[in-house]
């Protein structure tokens, strides 16, 4: 290091002195320090530990009749539970998935075909689609219809028309029902979370 400061070297490379080296290293370490100090401030905005603590919701499915739909709150968001009729299951399974915007087989979206369990938040801009109540507009595919911007979902909760880019999500943002954050604890009870 001492060689760098030799007058002969300095004369040969007038821009490179020991002072430049010190400035650069001190600046770099200072920059890292500032960034490391800012991060805790920024991170306070991310979900806090109590918010993150996975709340679990247990739902008894026994009272839900065939064809009936139920909404339960989980993590502050609605989860749609649909007890699908055989016609609804058939309609969902018979779709040629190559035509879908977000292609997915119905069998990948359910653990048991008669129970569809999805997060009831439109993947467009987060509204809650209609279709849970019997009088609601369910759209031409008999699934759900989002009144905000007109997205239409089928009986598997897959996007069919309108601006939404993706199918209604499974709990926990999972791609496959087998990885979703819900499980059957008995034949008629599920635990979400």
Partner 1 sequence: MADTRPGATARIIRWIDYRLPFVQLLNHELNEYPTPRNLSYWWNYGSLSGIMLVVMIASGVILATQYTPSSDLAFDSVERIMRDVNYGWFVRYVHMNGGSMFFAIVYIHLFRGLYYGSYKTPRELLWILGVIILLLLIATAFMGYVLPWGQMSYWAATVITNLFSAIPLVGPGIVTFLWGGFAVGDPTLHRFYALHYLLPFIIVAVVLLHLVALHRHGSNNPLGIDHKGPQDTIPFHPYYTIKDLFGLTVFLLIYAFFVFYAPNYLGEPDNYIPANPMQTPNHIVPEWYLLPYYAILRSITFPILFISSKLAGVILAFSSILILFFLPWLDTSPVRSARFRPIYKWVFWLLVIDVIALGWVGANPPEGIVVTVGQIATFYYFIHMLILFPLIGKLERPRPLPSSIGAAALGGGARLGGAGAPMAKP
Which residue ranges make up the site for partner 1 (CB under 8 A)? 45-48, 51, 71, 73, 75-78, 121, 124-128, 146-150, 162-165, 173
For the bound state, the minimum distance from the C-beta of residue 82 to partner 1, rounded and expressed in Å, comes to 16
149 is catalytic: yes
Burial (CB count <10 Å: 0-12, 13-18, 19+), residue 88: buried
Question: By C-beta, is 27 or 103 nearer to partner 1?
Answer: 103
Nearer to partner 1, 93 or 102 (CB): 102
CA of 134: how far to CAs of 69, 91, 144, in Å?
A: 8, 19, 11
Cβ distance to partner 1 smaller for residue 8 or 134: 134
Place of tokens 């439109």: 122
| Cβ closest to partner 1, residue 40 vs residue 76 | 76
Strand segments (E) across the chain: 57-60, 69-74, 77-83, 115-119, 142-145, 152-154, 159-161, 182-186, 189-192
Taking the C-alpha atoms of residue 148 and residue 130, their distance in angstroms, rounded to an integer, is 10
The distance of closest approach from Cβ of residue 46 to partner 1 in the complex, given in angstroms and rounded to an integer, is 6
Of the candidates 13, 83, 124, 149, the residue annotated as catalytic is 149
- Least distance from partner 1 to the Cβ atom of residue 76, Å: 4
Minimum gap (Å) between residue 15 Cβ and partner 1 = 35
The neighbouring-strand residues paired with 184 are 190
3: CB partners within 8 A, 6+ apart: 9
- List the alpha helices (DSSP H) in 44-147: 49-52, 86-93
The span from the CA of 60 to the CA of 191, in Å, is 9
Known catalytic residues are 149
């Amino acid at each position: 290091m001492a060689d760098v400061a030799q007058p002969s070297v300095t004369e040969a490379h007038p821009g490179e002195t020991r002072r430049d080296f010190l400035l650069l290293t001190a600046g770099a370490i200072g920059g890292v320090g500032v960034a490391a100090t800012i991060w805790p401030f920024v991170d306070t905005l991310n979900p806090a530990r109590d918010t993150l603590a996975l709340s679990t919701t247990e739902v008894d499915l026994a009272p839900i009749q065939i064809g009936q739909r139920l909404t339960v709150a989980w993590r502050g968001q609605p989860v749609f539970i649909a007890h699908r009729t055989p016609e609804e299951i058939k309609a969902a399974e018979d779709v040629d998935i190559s035509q879908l915007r977000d292609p997915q087989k119905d069998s990948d979206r359910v653990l048991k075909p008669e129970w569809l369990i999805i997060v009831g938040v439109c993947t467009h801009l987060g509204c809650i689609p209609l279709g849970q109540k019997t009088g609601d507009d369910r759209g031409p595919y008999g699934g759900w219809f989002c009144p905000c911007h007109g997205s239409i979902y089928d009986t598997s909760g897959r996007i069919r028309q309108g601006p939404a880019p993706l199918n209604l999500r499974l709990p926990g943002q999972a791609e496959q029902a087998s990885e979703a954050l819900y499980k059957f604890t008995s034949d008629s009870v599920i635990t979400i979370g």
